[in-house]
Amino acid sequence: MRLHIMGSAAAEGWPAMWCDCPSCHKAHQAGGKNYRTRSGALIDGVIKVDLCPDTYMQARRDDVDLSKVTDLLITHAHQDHFTPAELGFHVPPFAHGATPLHVWAALQAIMLARAATQRWPDVENRLHVLTPLAPVRLSDGITEVLPLPARHDRHSGPLNYIITRNGKSLFYGLDSGWYPDESWEAQKGNKFAIVVLDCTHGDMEASDGHGSLGTAKRIKEEMLAAGTADHNTVFIANHFSHNGGLLHEEMEDIVRSAGILVGYDGMIVEV
């Protein structure tokens, strides 16, 4: 399994577009991994998680061919994770020869997708409404996905995902605070190769809808105790806000001893 983190920031990006705060100034000065675009990921080159406003630029920067993507999983309907208008460019004259794309999400995001995909052929068979805790198999026939309830704005249809293909499982847990009890219960019996965790608040206190570096440490401990992760599991903190105030290297110093990696734009992990 190959995970490509195409973006690693929260909604405002980092440095934020309109911001003059010290955190954004530090990021400008340091550059490199401290330049963060809105969050999204690519799995094995064919499964896209979220369609943020920066997706086009990310694909050009990282030399990614999005025409090969078969399935798009949306975590929730907030605009920093889902820009539905981009789906309208998946058909001629905007795109030629693209692989048919299937979109999977809660009803809130699918309703937005319908308005943008009216010209898609066979559109009703390519937009899929997901129900938390109801497993599905993606269009490739080999990838199994279990949508999990996330602790986030309920009006956005928030989901986390367990994605399993070729014998490897990935837990994608962005845009959630401490996971609901039913999510923890549904994770039992899995053994994750990669875990991606929300750290929007950096080293500050977590909120109900977003995590922190401290939350990530606690989640790792919980997963190790439950047997859903072990010493081979790759844990990645991701989805950072400038309000957290810490540069990439500073966050690495905080979680290094816990065995957690700090995500960045363009990061690739293979297991």
pLDDT digits (tens, 9 = 90+) for 172-192: 999 999 999 999 999 999 999
Structure tokens at 162: 């367990």
Share of the chain above pLDDT 70, in %: 100
Architecture of domain 2-270: 4-Layer Sandwich (3.60)
Assessment of whether the complete model's pTM goes beyond 0.85: yes
Question: Cα–Cα distance between 41 and 49 in angstroms, integer?
Answer: 5
Residues 6+ apart with CB under 8 A from 28: 15
pLDDT digits (tens, 9 = 90+) for 143-177: 999 999 999 989 999 999 999 999 999 999 999 99
Unique residue bearing structure tokens 């959630």: 176
Tell me the C-alpha to C-alpha distance, in Å, between residue 122 and each of 109, 114, 126.
Answer: 19, 12, 7
Question: Cα–Cα distance between 163 and 169 in angstroms, integer?
Answer: 6
Tell me the C-alpha to C-alpha distance, in Å, between residue 44 and each of 5, 97, 250.
Answer: 11, 20, 30
In the DSSP assignment, the letter for residue 162 is E
- 176 in Cβ contact with 152 (< 8 Å): yes
